[in-house]
Amino acid sequence: MTVERVAEGRARGTHESTIFAVIAAVSLGHFLNDLMQSLIPAVYPLLKQELGLSFAQIGVVTLVFQGTASILQPLVGLYTDRRPLPYALAAGMGSTLLGLVLLAHSTSYRPVLIAVALIGLGSSIFHPESSRVARLAAGRRPGFAQSFFQVGGNVGSSLGPLLAAFVVLPNGQSSLQWFAAVALVGMGVLTLVGNWYRREGGKRALAGKVRGETPNLPAATVRLSIAVLLALMFSKFVYMASFSSYYIFYLMERYGVSVGVAQTGLFAFLASVAAGTIVGGPIGDRIGRKRVIWVSILGVFPFSAALPFVGFEANVALAAASGLVLASAFPAMVVYAQELVPSRVGMIAGLFFGFAFGIGGIGAAAIGMIADRTSITQAYYLCSFLPLIGLLAVLLPDLRRKH
């Protein structure tokens, strides 16, 4: 063995270690980012009452917010695959800060749309870049890193309804600006992450290329696999949008509960999503990501099918079970796709996070229109069949066998 190969092996060993502190930092950033973003759907009842918005207009608000992120995220990821921007994470958090302050002072429909577009811009920068950092810091544990990174966002999202119920609703729309302090903390944390990224990111990216984990699959198979994954994400995120945007209204209409009680139901669902996210990646590292994807999408159907026909407590319990099972899919999907196209980690992260935002926004708008024409209860019944799309997972190749 030559001296050069020994040196190369030592370098690879150094850069294949898992840097937990960096993964924890981007997870904290994800927590703060999604905490602020989750305030948007959580204050929909307040905006609907104060500004006289219809369900369709609320759907458009979600569409603008998530659509902005959807369009820009793959482009951000593609650009930074070629030209990394270590401090883009902090800049994205700054855009979220501006949008949140504007939303706090919006007195009509148009400023609300501008505000949520700014917050969507922040997401379009944050998600592909932070997912890339998590991947670089993961070493040989990409599933764990992706799950730990994503669970920060899920926990932040789950706390949004509680903060809306106990902080924003009692104090009014203007109290949203108090959360600017959260954005400032996030900018500080992400600046530290940027420092590490600037020092170590290039070395770790090179070590990943040297390691060479590309599965030897035909290009047509890779394209088909990406298409199947996007179809499964359509099922997952449209169904998720029915909860994040309308579950509060559904519980109020179906069971006659108060806004506060309905907010706790949404919290139960989002908390279960956080729990499901943290287990999906590590399990995929052990048993294979295809199995996790298969079970987590199709396995939701028994819960979704029963949900429209039970009482309030059982409904919340079934919603929580659905969130737990469904959420385990996304970390596995992202890492699976990155293993299909390892030279485009940022672009894949941007594509998948962007598609998740975009399809969730389109789904929210469509569900809103259905609810306006029929009822929110009928809209939920129609959404209960979406998990059956999970049958398409049978078309995915087993990458464990390929490796």
Q: What is the pLDDT of residue 6?
A: 37
Instruction: Look at residues 94, 96, 103, 93 and name the one whose alpha carbon lies nearest to residue 177.
Output: 103
Q: What is the pLDDT of residue 350?
A: 76
More reliable by pLDDT, 387 or 81: 387
Mean pLDDT in residue range 335-349: 77
Q: What is the pLDDT of residue 194?
A: 87
Q: What is the pLDDT of residue 189?
A: 93
Per CATH, the number for 15-402 is: 1.20.1250.20
Phi, psi dihedrals of residue 290, rounded to the nearest 5°: -60, -40
Q: What is the pTM of this model?
A: 0.66
Q: Dig out the tokens for 285 from the structure.
A: 């590292």
Q: How far apart are CA 384 and CA 70, in angstroms?
A: 24
**For residue 337, how many other CB atoms are within 10 A of its CB?**
24
Cα–Cα separations (whole angstroms), residue 198 to 83, 109, 141, 193, 195: 12, 41, 22, 9, 5
Mean pLDDT in residue range 325-341: 79
- How do residues 161-195 score in pLDDT, each as one tens digit? 778 778 887 887 888 888 888 899 999 999 999 88
Residue bearing tokens 């170590």:
200
DSSP state of 85: -
Q: What is the pLDDT of residue 281?
A: 66
- How do residues 353-373 score in pLDDT, each as one tens digit? 777 767 777 787 788 888 888
Assign 202 a pLDDT band (cuts: 50, 70, 90): low
114 pLDDT higher than 90: yes
Which amino acid type is present at position 213?
E
Q: Dig out the tokens for 227 from the structure.
A: 């298409």
DSSP state of 82: H
Mean pLDDT in residue range 71-99: 84
Mean pLDDT in residue range 92-107: 90
- How do residues 241-293 score in pLDDT, each as one tens digit? 888 778 888 888 888 888 888 888 888 887 887 777 777 667 766 766 777 77
Q: How far apart are CA 88 and CA 94, in angstroms?
A: 10
Mean pLDDT in residue range 334-357: 76
- For residues 178 and 309, the answer to whether their CB atoms sit within 8 Å is no
- How do residues 283-322 score in pLDDT, each as one tens digit? 766 766 777 777 777 778 888 888 888 888 998 999 888 8
Per-domain residue ranges of the chain: 15-402
Q: What is the pLDDT of residue 97?
A: 92
Mean pLDDT in residue range 14-24: 77
Question: What's the angle, vertex CA 119, arms to CA 117 and CA 120, rounded to 5?
Answer: 60
Instruction: Look at residues 164, 174, 325 and name the one whose alpha carbon lies nearest to residue 240.
Output: 325
Q: Quick one: angle between helices 312-327 and 329-340, nearest 10? A: 20
232 pLDDT higher than 80: yes
Q: E strand or H helix at 360, and its extent?
A: helix 345-373
Which amino acid type is present at position 89?
L
DSSP state of 84: -
Measure the N-to-C terminal CA separation of the chain; round to a whole number of Å.
25
